[in-house]
A and B are shown apart, each in its own frame.
Chain A
């Protein structure tokens, strides 16, 4: 039995979801990067990295939740294409790494449990992982139609 995805019935559904997706990841990644920048000695220098990460953690998480849920809905419109799209697969691996890194090593780094120089490395890795996620997302449309 074929079940039609209601998202496929409206031409507006995908673009509107994409706006939510972009707003969500921009919020999550941007807010996380504020603390990364602070680890590098840039931006809100009057606050400690820990303070910045703490103040914006719910905004980071909120953005992440919006991005993930809108992303799942986007995925549902054409799962076969995404599943066979290597850029999408790389994006998912980078996303898993970025989120894990954020809530483990990055969390330790902002709470001063490591040296400042190590903190700078952590900030660079964190930003590189999020950048890779954005790259993976944009290139989904470039490498279509997936594996041949």
Chain B
């Protein structure tokens, strides 16, 4: 069910031409990395504030609230370019151990977001506005480790050579 859908996806005209283009593919990759850089910095900035290492004059909720929408947009942009990269080699990625790891890590990140939701939405639930609670520090460390793992898994995808017998049209 999933695999035939992926094969149909990668053989859409737009993804076939993206796959075979010498320059558009690396341009999409560059934009993916640039978006990651910016989005990643906003995540790291939030986590550093939760650890109490930066912006001591700005309360934790203020930092989180100010970066909420920029982070959402940044994620959307990075994910859109990421989807383009995935879609033109969807079948290959399906078998790719690093891609599977990356998806698993995203699930863990979604769980992290669900579990620590209140830590991020309302810091008054845990700790004061300026000084991080142990819960906030835990959330920040886990977030940093998970996103770093996503980055490494992402780089790993390119190191697994494609298999023979892909259904590229």
A residues with a Cβ closer than 8 A to B are: 15, 18-19, 22-23, 25-27, 29-31, 33-34, 37, 42-47, 51, 55-56, 59, 130-131, 134-135, 138-139, 141-142
Contacts and interface: CB of A to CB of B under 8 A. Distances in A.
A29 B42 CA distance: 11
Given A30-B44, A31-B41, A42-B70, A19 B155 contact: yes
Contacts of A59: 44, 48, 54
A122 to B, nearest CB: 17
B66 A44 contact: yes
A22 B66 contact: no
A127 B40 CA distance: 15
Interface of B: 22-23, 26-27, 29-30, 33-34, 36-42, 44-45, 48, 54-55, 57-58, 62-63, 66-67, 70, 148, 151-152, 155-156, 159
B38 A46 contact: no
A56 B39 CA distance: 15
B41 A23 contact: no
Contacts, number: 90
A142 B29 CA distance: 12
Contacts of A43: 42, 66-67, 70
A60 to B, nearest CB: 9
A43 B67 CA distance: 6
A45 B37 contact: no
A55 B27 CA distance: 32
Contacts of A18: 155
Contact of A134 (B33, B44, B54, B155): B33
Given A19-B155, A42-B70, A47 B40 contact: no
B23 A44 contact: no
B66 A26 contact: no
A65 to B, nearest CB: 16
Given A31-B45, A139-B26, A23 B148 contact: yes
Contact of B30 (A29, A30, A135): A135
B10 to A, nearest CB: 21
Contacts of A45: 66
Contacts of A130: 37
B158 to A, nearest CB: 9
18 contacts: A22-B33, A23-B151, A23-B152, A25-B37, A29-B37, A31-B45, A33-B38, A33-B41, A42-B70, A43-B67, A44-B45, A44-B55, A44-B58, A45-B66, A51-B57, A134-B33, A138-B30, A142-B22
